[in-house]
A and B are shown apart, each in its own frame.
Chain A
Amino acid sequence: MAKVGVYVCHCGSNIAGVIDVEAVRAFAETLPDVVVSRKDLFMCSDSGQELIKQDIKDGVVDRVVVAACTPRTHEPIFRGVCESAGLNKYLFEMANIRDQSSWVHPQDPSGATEKAKMVVSSAVGKAARLKPLEDKFVDVTQKAMVVGGGVGGIFSALELANMGYKTYLVEKDPSIGGVMAQLDKTFPTNDCSACILTPVMVEAGSHPNIELMTYSEIDDVEGFIGNYNVKVRRKQTYIDWKKCTGCGACVDVCPGKAPDKFDAGLSKRSAAYIHFPQAVPKKAVVDMDSCLNCAGRKIGSEPKTSKKTGEPMYAPCEKACPADAVDRSINYNPEGEIVEVDVGTIVVATGYKVMEKDCFKELAPQHSNVMTALQLERLISATGPTGGKLLKPSNNEKPKTINFVSCVGSRDVNHHTYCSRVCCMYMIKQARLLKEKYPDLDIYMHFIDVRTAGKDYDEYYTGARRMGINFLKGKVGSIQTLDDDKMRVVAYDMEHGENVEIESDMVILATAIEQTESAKGLAQKLGLQFDGSGFFKEMHPKLGPVETATQGIYLAGCCQGPKDIPDTVSQAKGAAAAAAVPLAQGKVKIEPIISEVHAEKCSGCGICVPLCPYSAISMKTFADRPRAEIDITQCKGCGVCTATCPSAAIVLHGYEEEQIMAQIAALTS
């Protein structure tokens, strides 16, 4: 006979504020198999845990039920309590009387108390029939992968590499660097973005433990924590990267043209291009969509012969390349090449994108002097389209008045309800940089409210006020086009309680930070979830900020939610530390709450095989007959197979038929 101990928690007023804890405790005592029933103010506290340990050590109980909060956070704690007292930790069952009773029925204390009794009696029914289970362990591939090579990905990769783990850094663009590489200077210190980022990029590019896989994307992922097999698609560059030295000769002669993404579309780049001047790796790529196939040189064709000279005719890029890296006779596969790598853990750091100005028709997006803040960042950058000079796109003249508009698409029920977190600060940064350089410039900043909560951030803001930058509380509702060059910003000055109109030469829109387009595909491959705002969901908003629901996959940077560089780097280092834990242990635990096929009962029908969502089941031959077999490393314990098997040959440990039936009986009797 099982000896079940029931421990009911008050959880302060979380549970006891609604439920009559003593009534639940007394009721538990009357249940079959229960030998002792106790209560405590906080079961998870030292004194609460001691109650359980003492009962186990005294031999009073050999099954434990804690009626408290959620197993999501507290099951591991109480399992540990059982284990430390010498009881198999899978002989523990949790009754969630907080989420399922007190929190959902606060208006009905007596009903909630009755429901809590049922939840407890169901848990007791199951606990009495639990069987001891053993954890299993499998070896780990001691390598890591980081997806996304922005500042977040770079720091995660460096951290892992410095701990001694081989790390693959996968980046979809030809170079690492992400958005930070596009920035001019960075708040709150105004240090040059490239100056602080480039050395780190170079360090990552030359680190013996880091393998850069740029211009690459994840094609497929298989496996589980400790043993992931990742297929990476190295996109076709049409240039031999082993030979390319990044001299830029092909770029200079190439006549093909396309909008330059790195310059946020403000300028054009050639079809053969290098991502940006400080690119790592510094290699050229041909963008086939804008390539003109000069001299009739289609990829994979032999050169035509000149009628005049009798010589073969090559494309300018081929002729210019001193390293022989451009050879258009090669019949390149446009699909690129699939490279397979095995890694133990993966950090996702795929960053964000900003909304385009076209989404906001009331703000004159068609006007060339209205631009996004990211475009302004390029415009004032020394490596930008004007060499850092502030010039109006309409006529290349200096503007006299600039207006900044905050919360464009953020904190807006029509677009994104969340705050993008960096806009207030970068608008102040841009305004300060401009005011320093052009003291005559008239700058107006329109805010719903100024949010500058970081270290040294508010000083940065008040400093901007002292510099004579004009702050207006009130959101801009409309921008009217006066002519090709000027606009009227229609705003409201809340302090004044009146409308204000400002003639402006340029308007900068702080457009919202949002999830990237490729995130959905990546989420499917890695089993990631999204939060209500469309960013990747962390395991727990407070206690699991870098982990995800998929073990072995971690998050860093803006793909998890908008954040600035300091926060991105902190989270990146945190994610790397978490991703290194399984690698350092060398083994990962496989919880035994998974399914097993009893071969002697299996009829070999194969129904379970296609139903398993994790492809964990395959048919094997035993005694000349096909039987199902479950790979313990793939099984997630969802139980689909158990519920389906017509021969009842599959047992889900921890949720066996007898245990579930006992729970149902307790709830229905």
Chain B
Amino acid sequence: MAIQLSKDKIDEAINTIIEYGGDGIQRCVQCGACSSVCPGVQAGFPVLCRLLIKKLQDGLLEDIIEEQSSWGCQNCNRCTEVCPQGVRPQEVVIAFRRYQANELAFSTSTVSAQMQLHDIGHAVFTEAGELREGVGLPGKAPTSAYNEKAQEEIQAILDNSPMAELGLF
């Protein structure tokens, strides 16, 4: 189905992104340099950098609210380095992610990462006790993962942060 362009939708999309920090969005000329170097696009997230910007410029903000691609951004910022128009595409991606988060349209992968962060202070954690012992290190690394007091502190911080309003924990 053809995209129905509407001024209201476009304005809403652009203003939302600008409000969330992606104020270069209107400078994009769709050259694709950002996408050419993006590891996220490389890994198969199609709606990153250039295409994400295009969809937002067409006013498809709500339409792509469930899009998972934005969560593929590694914050590597290579897009910012190569963009010839000074768009800072990464900021657009993150702005869109902020919008998604505020609408509770998380990627499931992110939800579990957030919950894990709340529980043990690590978004991504793998049990490496055996491996560590194998190379002569204490099995329990000195991190929040094995420290209840640290975990309580992290939980207190997160519970009092805007993150808590999202109702994840």
Contact = CB atoms under 8 A, between A and B. Distances in A.
A477 B81 CA distance: 9
B84 to A, nearest CB: 4
A362 B51 CA distance: 22
Contacts of A494: 30, 32, 50
Contact of B82 (A362, A411, A499): A362
B37 to A, nearest CB: 4
Interface in B1-59: 29-38, 41-42, 46, 50-51
A614 interface: no
A427 to B, nearest CB: 16
A448 B35 contact: no
Interface string A447-488: 010000000000000000000000001111110000000000
A218 B154 CA distance: 72
A146 interface: no
A478 B85 contact: no
A107 interface: no
A473 B29 CA distance: 12
A498 B46 contact: yes
Given A477-B34, A492-B32, A492-B35, A499 B84 contact: no
A413 B33 contact: no
A347 to B, nearest CB: 34
Residue of B30, B33, B46 most packed against chain A (CB within 10 A): B33
Contacts of B41: 492, 498-499
A526 interface: no
Interface residues of A, number: 21
Taking residues whose C-beta sits less than 8 angstroms from the other chain, chain B's interface range is 20 to 34
Nearest to A474: B32
A571 B38 CA distance: 44
A490 B36 contact: yes
Contacts of B84: 407, 411-414, 448, 475
A490 B37 contact: yes
Given A362-B82, A414-B84, A499-B42, A491 B31 contact: no
A493 B51 CA distance: 11
Contacts of B30: 494
Nearest to A414: B84
A477 B37 contact: yes
A407 B84 CA distance: 9
Interface string A41-53: 0000000000000
A413 B155 CA distance: 44
B139 interface: no
A478 B41 CA distance: 14
Contact of A478 (B37, B51, B86): B37
A172 to B, nearest CB: 32
Nearest to A491: B36
B85 A413 contact: yes
B51 to A, nearest CB: 6
Contacts of A541: none
B122 interface: no
A62 B114 CA distance: 84
A491 B38 CA distance: 10
B33 A476 contact: yes
A76 interface: no
A498 B36 CA distance: 8
A411 B30 CA distance: 12
A497 interface: yes
B78 A448 contact: no
Shortest beta-carbon contacts, A-B, top 6: A474-B32, A412-B84, A477-B36, A477-B37, A492-B36, A475-B33
30 contacts: A407-B31, A411-B29, A412-B85, A413-B84, A413-B85, A414-B86, A473-B32, A474-B32, A475-B32, A476-B36, A477-B33, A477-B35, A477-B36, A477-B37, A477-B82, A478-B36, A478-B37, A478-B82, A491-B32, A491-B36, A492-B32, A492-B33, A492-B35, A492-B41, A492-B50, A494-B30, A498-B41, A499-B35, A499-B38, A499-B42
Interface of A: 362, 407, 411-414, 448, 473-478, 490-494, 497-499
